[in-house]
A and B are shown apart, each in its own frame.
With several copies, the nearest count.
Chain A
Amino acid sequence: MTVKVQREDFDVGAELAAMTGGKTGIGGVTLFVGLVRDMAGGEAVSAMTLEHYPGMTEKELEAIEAEARQRWPLDDALIIHRHGRLEPGDRIVLVATASAHRQAAFESCHFLIDWLKTRAPFWKLEATPDGERWVEAKDSDDDAAARWAKPA
């Protein structure tokens, strides 16, 4: 179970190999890679700067991962989130979950990215032809996260 917050890019093939190498009980790994898009809200985006809250970011990602491990039978889980300046096409985030069963791998990976988007302290600043602007939180992200709320 690993959380990394870094400026540098990551190597998805190497991360997958590290997660599965030498293990023979994993039936499936689901991975999600988030990328910088060149358009947002109809406007061109030439660059994006990701600010975060060092210390809290790591704690929050670890808490999210722990929650996933409680809900699903996982062999492993990995979150890597970049910060700093990124350009369209650059990788932002990798979430990967390994399980004996593919349903658990899919659900937990989807849960992790949905929860991360509403709980991990990252903020995106987009550079557009009209200048810089802070990305606003989306209701659709709140809705996506709410799907995973536990029944009381």
Chain B
Amino acid sequence: MKILYFAWLRTKIGVAAETVDLPAEVRDVGGLVDWLKTRSPKHADALANSTVVKVAVNQEHVPYDHPVGPGDEVALFPPVTGG
């Protein structure tokens, strides 16, 4: 699965994208975020407060109970601040 990070999630974790092998027990966005926290202290720090971690699956905003699968493009980012 391809994971993208933007803005301060990117700078805190230190990479803009990574490809991960999704464990079978991870089935939704919430489960994915919890699992990503275990990958490194930087991941744990960046993802600590889920209220400011927004998620898009295949380029659409989704809630934490949205399903995820190995073929998805998942992006994690803070609340947007454009315009």
B56 at interface, CB cutoff 8 A? yes
Contact A122 B75, beta carbon cutoff 8 Å: no
A128 interface hit (Cβ, 8 Å): no
**B interface, by DSSP: helix, strand, loop or mixed?**
mixed
Contact B80–A119 (Cβ < 8 Å):
yes
**Interface contact A116-B4, CB-CB below 8 Å:** no
How many A-B pairs have beta carbons closer than 8 Å: the answer is 76
Question: What is the interface residue range for chain B against chain A?
Answer: 10 to 19
CB of A136 within 8 A of CB of B81, answer yes
Q: Which residues of B contact A (CB under 8 A)?
A: 4, 6-8, 10-11, 56, 59-61, 75, 77-83
Contact flag A113-B6 (CB < 8 Å), given A53-B56, A53-B59, A53-B77: no
Interface residues of A, count at CB 8 A: 29
| Cβ A134 vs Cβ B75 within 8 A | no
